[in-house]
Structure formats: C-alpha cells, structure tokens
Amino acid sequence: AQKVTQAQTEISVVEKEDVTLDCVYETRDTTYYLFWYKQPPSGELVFLIRRNSFDEQNEISGRYSWNFQKSTSSFNFTITASQVVDSAVYFCALSPGAERGVTFGTGTKLQVIP
Amino acid sequence: GAGVSQSPSNKVTEKGKDVELRCDPISGHTALYWYRQSLGQGLEFLIYFQGNSAPDKSGLPSDRFSAERTGGSVSTLTIQRTQQEDSAVYLCASSLIFREQYFGPGTRLTVT
C-alpha cells in the first residue's frame, strides 16, 4: 500500500516570508515518482514538479525549491519570498513504477497575506 | 495544443438516476485517470487506464461506478442509481506513462 501525508492542513504567511510545505510518503516500491501540484482558487490543478526515486538532487525553479530525501521519505516544497498569487492548495502525489494509480496527499492550503 | 476537456461542466441529477461523465484526454497520452474531489477535500483516486485497459480500478467506491475507454482516447465514467454522497467534482487527468498528469476542469455533479 502507498500513502502520502501532508500534515499541514492550512498555513498562513505574510507576503515575502518563506514557507515550506511538508510531504511524507510511504511505498514498498523501489522505483516511484513524486509530484507536486497546485490548485488555485480557480480550481484547475497545475503540475509543478516531478521527481523519480533515483534522483535525490534538490531542485530550484525561480522562487520554488524542492528537497527530496529518501532516507526520511520526504519531498518538501519551499516557496521563497511568497506572493499573494501563491495562495492555493498544494498537493503532493506518489506514483509507483508500475501500473497503478497515483496517490495524492490531502493537500495544504496556503494563504499568503499582503 | 488542446488540453484535457470534460463534459458536462455541471450536472444536476435526481437521486436514483444514472449519469455519464466524459473525458477527452490530450492526444497521444496513453494514461488516463479519474478522481473525485468533494468540497474542501483532497483527490480521491477512482480508476486508471493505460490504453483501453484499466489495470487499477481499486478506487471505485462501489459497483454503481464503472468506466470505460475506447480507442485509447475518450473515457466515460458512469454512475448508476446516483446517491447524494456521489455529489462532488469529478476530475479527469491524462499523461504519458509515469509522467506528470494534466488535469481537466472537472465536472461538478450535484445529486438532489
């Protein structure tokens, strides 16, 4: 069985603060893929990043960065200098390297206050 | 290019009626997924297609739910004898295998 836990239900930060969204996963597969998606108030889910289990390099894309640590089964997401437009629900997801569906976490609602 | 489209965008139905929800994936995407999202909740996986076959149906909540995919493209999710607890937004996504999913805008189903 696989599981994705996003323990933070809601986070509020003031604009320009940094914020980290936590994601912890469980899987018995040795090959798997991890994702982050953003769901703004408009409702449509937007892909942010994909990482495979063999690549533990951290990644930075503009104000976004991701820290993948296999040893702790975590794939955390940091937004630097947050902006109001970052306000959304963020989902972490896990896909096994086999013909099975994708498991999403319950999401973290981020509110950035101006 | 065109993204994932879903129809109808909204559906109101009476309890006990059957409904069909349609998904048109991105052309060339072999994987197709159906999810359900209740108000303020996360995404509940329903079913996954690879081509026309469904290797993972583990998320379908009851035998009232079924789905099919034809020609490796369009998929239909059917809910028979709808119940009020079926009210939710039904999301479809497509992808290349093991790649990121692209989501449609969803169908909001309301069962009265």
Mutant choice from B30, B103, B107 vs A, greatest count of A C-beta within 10 A: B103
Nearest to B56 among A47, A101, A105 (CB): A101
Q: Where are the beta strands (DSSP E) in B28-72?
A: 31-37, 43-50, 53-56, 65-69
Residue B94 near residue B31 (C-beta atoms within 8 A): yes
**What are the phi and psi torsion angles at A40 (to 5°)?**
-70, 170
pLDDT at A109: 96
A74-112 pLDDT, tens digit each: 999 999 999 999 999 999 999 886 566 788 999 999 999
Mutant choice from B35, B43, B92, B94 vs A, greatest count of A C-beta within 10 A: B43
